């Protein structure tokens, strides 16, 4: 059987690498990559444990790093790849950074805020909604999460 | 006429000081203070311009600083005072840091996410909702914001 990872775009594979690296550090395995014009601008994995900061999610770290690299607090030509459906915090950050397109892996019915929960980008007070595509690389992303949580039990 | 600020609690007056200091730095005037057992643990004003980071809201900065000071990523015995109704980003952060009580000043029908918009703390997927009290020090908080934005036009 073909490895489903081979059918994924390079940025999503890099995001999965970041998620796997996060797991190896004892962090919930989520990874994120910011891309502009085919170039990777920033990549990050979850660091909530290391930084003792429950807001140090992969998306927020990658977005801040991309803003730093590009010298701009707005990233209108940038796309974000993330292995898990963003939560309310990260969905709000994606709006604030003006991300153009969002590609995410596993859907998260419990914590996701894009296609679940508050569905932030569909709220009338949301000032910027990216184009959003979910379920890309869902299987490997979900497998990483499942393995991680099974070792904790 | 009595200055309405005199009727406010000390933490809210400190939050207003932080908001005024933010305005003096050319930042949208919002301030936040974290308190535990009557002691101010952290205080911050908005620094989105200075840090070139649209997520560097007063609440997020004060919460992160409080976690650093207390050496804990969860702040279950802490209360947050903020001059403006928190947005979606900050409401989500308040949940993640497990803040006990939220006291805020001016209501924000356009950007607020506590009593407006997604009403995050009332969402079924919100894992922690603080007790929430709005409209405390609304007049001085709103006056700071109005003055700031009138100078920009």
Segment A30-57, tens digit of pLDDT: 999 999 999 999 999 999 999 999 999 9
Q: Which of A120, A84, A91, A90 is nearest to A12 (CA)?
A: A84
Q: What is the mean pLDDT of residues B99-119?
A: 97
All structural domains of chain A with their residue ranges: 10-145
State residue A3's pLDDT score: 54
Residue A9 at interface with chain B, using a CB cutoff of 8 Å? no
State residue A137's pLDDT score: 85
Long-range contacts of A39-44 (CB under 8 A, 24+ apart): A40/A11, A40/A14, A41/A65, A41/A66, A41/A69, A41/A70, A41/A78, A42/A66, A42/A69, A43/A14, A43/A15, A43/A18, A44/A18
Separation of alpha carbons A50 and A65, rounded Å: 17
State residue B6's pLDDT score: 66
pTM value is 0.94
Contact B8, B141 (CB under 8 A): no
Separation of alpha carbons A83 and A79, rounded Å: 13
Residues of A in contact with B118 (CB under 8 A): 88, 118, 120, 123, 125
Annotated ligand binding at A87? The verdict is yes
The domain made up of B10-145 has a fold known as: Cytidine Deaminase; domain 2 (3.40.140)
Contact A130, A94 (CB under 8 A): yes
Q: Given a cut of 80, is residue B46 above it in pLDDT?
A: yes
State residue B94's pLDDT score: 98
Q: What is the mean pLDDT of residues B126-146?
A: 94
- Residue A92 belongs to what H/E stretch? helix A88-96
ipTM score of complex: 0.93
Q: Bridge-partner residues for A39, per DSSP?
A: A36
State residue A6's pLDDT score: 66
- The band of A152, judged by pLDDT with boundaries at 50, 70 and 90, is confident
Q: Which of B116, B148, B119 is nearest to B31 (CA)?
A: B148
Q: Given a cut of 90, is residue B96 above it in pLDDT?
A: yes
């Amino acid at each position: 059987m073909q490895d489903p990872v081979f059918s994924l775009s390079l940025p999503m594979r890099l995001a999965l690498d970041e998620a796997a690296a996060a797991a190896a550090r004892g962090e919930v395995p989520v990874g994120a990559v910011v891309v502009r014009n085919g170039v990777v601008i920033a990549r990050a994995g979850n660091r909530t444990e290391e930084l003792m900061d429950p807001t140090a999610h992969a998306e927020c770290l990658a977005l801040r790093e991309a803003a730093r690299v590009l010298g701009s607090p707005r990233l209108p030509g940038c796309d974000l790849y993330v292995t898990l459906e963003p939560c309310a915090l990260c969905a709000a950050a994606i709006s604030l950074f003006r991300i153009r397109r969002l590609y995410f892996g596993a859907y998260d019915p419990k914590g996701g805020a894009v296609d679940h929960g508050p569905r932030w980008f569909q709220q009338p007070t949301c000032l910027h909604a990216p184009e959003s595509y979910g379920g890309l690389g869902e299987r490997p992303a979900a497998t990483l999460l499942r393995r991680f949580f099974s070792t904790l039990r």
